[in-house]
Structure 1
């Protein structure tokens, strides 16, 4: 799992990059970075249930093996009763469930086993929620843009306000996203954010050039969650 480490110099560079981009445009850029966008505890629970059902399927498919295993444990002295067999099965299933759930408490493993589509949906959901809370409709011209980085999932989102989405679709941000994620994977998240901000600023400048009435409506700083 990627760990986010921003130095004071990185934070200063991000702030400077936002200020420089906004100096050329009426757009406003908000940069948010977080270690992970979701706990994914439900994913761990799903795996635990899946392992338990797999154990049930194995026992159902090969019941003779269960009898053999129980007889080995008892030394072959007694034939196990149905009550004893069902109790053992219950214990085995419970052990499988709890053991898997315990292993999935380790976040790097949980993240590694979480499907990519699930990560993508939850990163997007968190980014949209943060954008609505911090940037949407916070600018007079509806020209706010959020650059959101979620390091644990190695994913990012760029979300624009109403006026921005009318002139810039997802393809406009492709280069900014590529630069951001490449630098994050290389262990340089500060460089990645600066590069993404510069490219987003270029798009905003082409569609919303600076006017005399523009004011700074969103703080020019990196927000770390």
Structure 2
């Protein structure tokens, strides 16, 4: 478990308190799964495989001399031919080796996150949040007022996704404070505290635009779902 039982209870209580003053429904999803960016790894591997041999050539380093000795000229070969063979083999083997090594290293999650542009990581988190929004049934609320607070611990990012009924009155940028609160909590290693504060901010915003209805049913579970 990512959160302790007590922390789960604290977040659940915060959700219940927030929903008493609004007809909106709040659900939290917390993901600890490592994020992989194979397309970024491929780009880095290709760049390193192409650039390093070229830079070595510019600096005057003979890549052919990196190949193991032992080539002996035959009766039709001379030293110049052997040198060309070594040079060609060096420019074949070195890029392949660099590509494989770089690709393997850049797939390691911490390295991958460091080398992946923030914009690409944000797009990944957004897609993951949308998938959870659909999978958790937030579109099945009566007034389309479901709100998902999605947190990716591996990417240290968060996303707030609201249903159509809320987006008509609350623009996406209105959730920025809640997202910043979660990210700050992750950095302090106080995930539950950040979630509780984010739920309170989301609840305050919902209460302003979506006061509770006469019945105000509880349509979504008041809890944190861990992935």
| TM-score, normalised relative to structure 2 | 0.87
Deviations along 1:179-198, one digit per CA (max 9) or x if unpaired, are: 21111110000000010001
Give 2:124's aligned residue: 122
Query: Residues 32 and 147 of structure 1 are in contact (CA less than 8 Å); yes or no, is this contact kept in structure 2?
Result: yes
CA RMSD of aligned residues (A): 2.4
1:71 Cα deviation after fit: 8.6
Give 2:29's aligned residue: 32
> Which whole-Å CA distance do the structure 2 matches of 1:81 and 1:184 have between them?
57
Give 2:219's aligned residue: 217
Give 1:151's aligned residue: 153
**Structure 1 unmatched ranges of 5 or more:** none
Query: Residues 30 and 135 of structure 1 are in contact (CA less than 8 Å); yes or no, is this contact kept in structure 2?
Result: no
Moved over 6 A (4+): none
Give 1:65's aligned residue: 61
**Structure 2 unmatched ranges of 5 or more:** 73-78
> Which whole-Å CA distance do the structure 2 matches of 1:83 and 1:187 have between them?
57
| TM-score, normalised relative to structure 1 | 0.88
> Which whole-Å CA distance do the structure 1 matches of 2:67 and 2:119 have between them?
45
> Which whole-Å CA distance do the structure 1 matches of 2:21 and 2:132 have between them?
25
Across the two proteins, how many residue pairs are aligned to each other? Answer: 219
After superposition, the Cα gap between the structure-2 partners of 1:72 and 1:130, relative to the gap in structure 1 and judged at 3 Å, is closer
> Which whole-Å CA distance do the structure 2 matches of 1:178 and 1:120 have between them?
14
Is residue 7 of structure 2 the alignment partner of residue 7 of structure 1?
no
After superposition, the Cα gap between the structure-2 partners of 1:32 and 1:71, relative to the gap in structure 1 and judged at 3 Å, is closer
